[in-house]
Structures are given as structure tokens and as C-alpha cells.
Amino acid sequence: MEKMEKRNTDLWFTEFQTQNMQLGLKIHNILKNVQTRYQHLLVAETIEYGRLLALDGAIQLTEKDEFCYHEMMAHIPISAHSLPERVLIVGGGDGGILRECLKHDFIKEVTLVDIDQEVINSSREFFPSISCAMDDPRARILTMDALEFIKENQNCFDVVIVDSTDPVDFAAGLFQSPFYGDVFNSLTSKGIVIAQTESPFAEPALLKQAVSEMKTAFKQVAVCLGYMPTYPTGMWSYTVGSKFNDPANIVNRPCNIKTKYYTAEIHKASFVLPPFVREIVEMEGDR
């Protein structure tokens, strides 16, 4: 009798990042796999990147590289502001940006508004090193629609951080000019907003749109770049709108905080854009 070949029992998570591109990670355990009220949520153990959180099939974070994204989203606007005391995080239910914001002693309160309680619960359960600041007395965590929350809270925040998922379904409004107008009104006189605006390689049209939409509300808008290995193409963009300070300048230098990615030098360098990215984000009136 002919001997049968051994079957391949490898288990893989595959993110279809575009119609023509995918990222695969070998996993050895699935810790949570549920449909929440808003989205599909998966927590898995990967070989290369540790624990992974995916929403609707898109990687939100992994233990190995999450600091690259969370540190840029938090420390860029905080360092560019004169002295921020109150921060709003839109989304970010995993708590990574919250953790980074609360490293600064001068921050008095961080309000995190995420629509999906299951994301918050899952991060508390499976990602303690990321959700570790959720019980900080300066943290206020709300489960509700951030679009409505911002409309009801004007002139309240020094920094707004938009940690959104991809711009589909309930998150689509977070990339549009009416939302940025509401963010502008929610900020104090020297306020700054930062939003994740996808990959210039994978989603150039979305990046251009986000910059254009933010410019309808903010006179000072700048794009910075950072590495994010498990996000599409590994190059990630962040768009910053400011009422007062130039976001590329460090006004409030971080003191005595431990980071693994962000530094003052990285801050300044991240705003130096390659020509192809400048071509994406510049509009006719800017040239």
C-alpha cells in the first residue's frame, strides 16, 4: 500500500490588505473569535508577532510592533502642543494610545471613546501590556459613538487623536470634512488633532482625501510617516491639523518617558516627505 503524504496542518491568519495584496502570519492558537455588535473580532497567537488583534479581518495590533503606531499617534501631537492637559482618543479601545498619553505627568485627563465594548474587554483580557493604563485615575473610558460625543463637547480638548479603523461602515465618517469641523470645535485655542491616514502605497487616494478634508477645517495641516510592519506595505501615514503651533516642531519636549520608537529626532524627520508622498498630498493651491 502506497504511503500517504503527511498533511500540512499549519494554521495561518491572512489579511487581504487590498484586492491584489495579502499578509499571512502563522498562528498556533486562537484565543477569541466572535462577532460583536459592530464587527468581527479575532485574537490569535502568532509565531512571529505574538498576540494579534484583528477587526473584520484587518490587523489592529500585534504585541511585537504595536509601539510603533501608538507612540507616534500619542507623542507627535503632545510634543507639538505647548502644554496639553486634556486629550480625547477617538477609537483606540485597545488602550495603547491611552498608555502612551498617560506617560506624561502634565496630562490631567484622557477620554477614550470607543463604540465597541468588546474591543475594550478583549484588550483587558488578552493584552495587559497594552491596556495597562485603563485603570489610571486620569483615564475616562466611554462606550458610545464618538461622532456624537464630539458634537456635544466643544472647546474641551487640547489634543484629539483619531485612532480609527479603515473608513468603512460606522468608521467612514471619521475621514470626512464634517467630522474634522466638529473636531476643530472640540479643541481649545491651541489644539491639535492627529489621525491615522493609511499607507501612501496601498491607499494613496484615501490619504489625499483625508488631507484635503482636514484642510477644510484647519489652516495648518501636515503629514508625517512612520514604520508599521504589520500594516499594509509597512509604511504608514499620520495627518496632523493644528490651530496654532506647527506640528513638525517640538514645543513640549518629552521628559523622563520611556519609548521604543518615538524620539525628538524621529518627530522632526517624520515630517520630511519623499517626493512621491508630497505629490499625493499636495493640492493645486498648495504648489
Residue at 146 is within a domain: yes
pLDDT at 285 over 50: no
**Same domain (yes/no): 173, 32:** no
Cα gap 123→160, rounded to integer Å: 22
Q: Nearest to residue 77, comparing CAs of 196, 211, 232?
A: 196
pLDDT at 167 over 60: no
- Between 125 and 20, residue with greater pLDDT: 125
Containing domain of residue 210, as a range?
66-286
Residue at 15 is within a domain: yes
DSSP 8-27: ---EEEEEEEETTEEEEEEE
**Same domain (yes/no): 15, 113:** no
- Per DSSP, helices labelled H in the chain are 66-80, 96-101, 117-126, 146-152, 177-186, 204-215, 264-270, 275-281
Q: Has 145 been annotated as catalytic?
A: no
Mean pLDDT of 114-139: 98
Judging by DSSP bridges, how do beta strands 235-242 and 220-227 pair with one another?
antiparallel
Q: What is the pLDDT of residue 7?
A: 54
Average pLDDT, the chain: 92
**Same domain (yes/no): 33, 102:** no
Residue at 4 is within a domain: no
User: Can you read off the three cell numbers belonging to residue 117?
Assistant: 465594548
Question: Given 163, 169, 182, 246, which residue is catalytic?
Answer: 163
**Total-model pTM:** 0.92
Cα gap 75→267, rounded to integer Å: 8
CATH of the domain at 236: 3.40.50.150
Q: How many domains does the chain have?
A: 2
Mean pLDDT of 162-189: 78
**Same domain (yes/no): 153, 50:** no
Mean pLDDT of 1-9: 54
**Residue in the block written with cell 501590556:** 129
**Same domain (yes/no): 162, 29:** no
pLDDT at 172 over 90: no
**Same domain (yes/no): 56, 142:** no
**Same domain (yes/no): 57, 87:** no
Residue at 113 is within a domain: yes
Residue at 266 is within a domain: yes
Cα gap 112→211, rounded to integer Å: 24
Q: What is the pLDDT of residue 5?
A: 56
Q: What is the pLDDT of residue 176?
A: 74
Q: What is the pLDDT of residue 256?
A: 78
Cα gap 34→42, rounded to integer Å: 7
Residue at 217 is within a domain: yes
**Same domain (yes/no): 116, 252:** yes
CATH of the domain at 44: 2.30.140.10
Residue at 133 is within a domain: yes
Q: pLDDT digits over 141-164, tens only?
A: 999 999 999 999 999 999 999 998
- Last residue within a domain, chosen from 20, 46, 62: 62
**Same domain (yes/no): 218, 182:** yes
Mean pLDDT of 61-78: 98
Cβ neighbours of residue 105 under 8 Å, at least 6 residues apart? none
pLDDT at 173 over 80: no
